Chain A
């Protein structure tokens, strides 16, 4: 059985966002990502962590190292039990924001990732999964 590297971190404060960035960095370094790929994953993680905190009322992130030889990657799953997203298409559009942000978070995170999935039900919360491969 291969060893699975998986950690779960809380996303409940601004300091947690900094810690999520650090963990995303650490795991992408461990997977041998180039500096550009590290930076893209860390930036996507930062955007999604802020969404989880600001719109989801806080939640958690699960970070998993993916080892599927010859591919190596990192997957992040952000989940919250917040109000959810009523119109996902709209939320993904650049410039759309329901808060005070720039509205680049979701769309930007999608562009910076190789895989992107979003699952949200109004009133039940949101789950965003991204993965990046080296």
Chain B
């Protein structure tokens, strides 16, 4: 069966969509990604859609769903590389991709994920210090 490959990069997962997906393939990706997030304790998903020439309401909903599911599983999703013509069309279609973080390219998307992870670790350390030091 045909599948969209999911690559692992450290604590993140990288998905590059390079084919015009039919609906079942999009649903399969949604399922595969959530499974991989849990199995590999991934903290972020980078979805590269620079090869996608069309994002209709179905694909748009899949992208929103993936971001929402990932969030519930404590992973951040960043969508990168949306083509300008696709962005223009999406807005006119009425799709706003609420709750989905976007970035211009893979490099900046990766920086965004790393930054978020660092911030979280720092605040976790701070909390830990306060706890071990006690009230006085």
**Chain A residues with a Cβ under 8 A of chain B:** 14-15, 17-18, 21-22, 25, 35-36, 38-40, 42-43, 46-47, 50, 94, 101-102, 104-105, 107-108, 111-112
Q: Which of the segments B36-44, B83-91, B112-120 contacts the partner chain?
A: B83-91
In the bound assembly, the distance between CA atoms of A104 and B60 in angstroms comes to 11
Q: Are A112 and B22 in contact (CB under 8 A)?
A: no
Identify the closest chain A residue to B92 (Cβ): A111
Q: B residues 49-80 with Cβ under 8 Å of A?
A: 53-58, 60-61
Q: Are A18 and B88 in contact (CB under 8 A)?
A: no
For residue B95, CB closer than 8 A to chain A, the reply is yes
Identify the closest chain B residue to A17 (Cβ): B22
Q: CB within 8 A of B94: which of A17, A101, A108?
A: A108
Q: Are B57 and A14 in contact (CB under 8 A)?
A: no
B88: A residues at CB distance < 8 A:
36, 39-40
Q: CB within 8 A of A47: which of B20, B24, B53, B56?
A: B56
Q: Are A18 and B85 in contact (CB under 8 A)?
A: no
In the bound assembly, the distance between CA atoms of A105 and B95 in angstroms comes to 11
Q: Are B89 and A39 in contact (CB under 8 A)?
A: yes
Identify the closest chain A residue to B60 (Cβ): A102
A-B contact pairs, 21 of them (CB 8 A): A17-B23, A18-B21, A21-B20, A36-B85, A39-B53, A39-B83, A39-B88, A39-B89, A43-B54, A43-B56, A46-B54, A46-B56, A46-B58, A50-B23, A94-B94, A101-B61, A104-B94, A107-B94, A108-B92, A108-B95, A112-B89
Q: Are A101 and B22 in contact (CB under 8 A)?
A: no
The answer to whether A101 and B58 touch (CB under 8 A), given A18-B22, A21-B20, A107-B94, is: yes
Q: Are A104 and B95 in contact (CB under 8 A)?
A: yes
In the bound assembly, the distance between CA atoms of A76 and B93 in angstroms comes to 18
Q: Are A42 and B53 in contact (CB under 8 A)?
A: yes
Q: Which of A14, A22, A25, A50 counts the most B-chain CB atoms under 10 A from its CB?
A: A14
B85: A residues at CB distance < 8 A:
35-36, 38-39
In the bound assembly, the distance between CA atoms of A105 and B61 in angstroms comes to 12
Identify the closest chain B residue to A105 (Cβ): B57
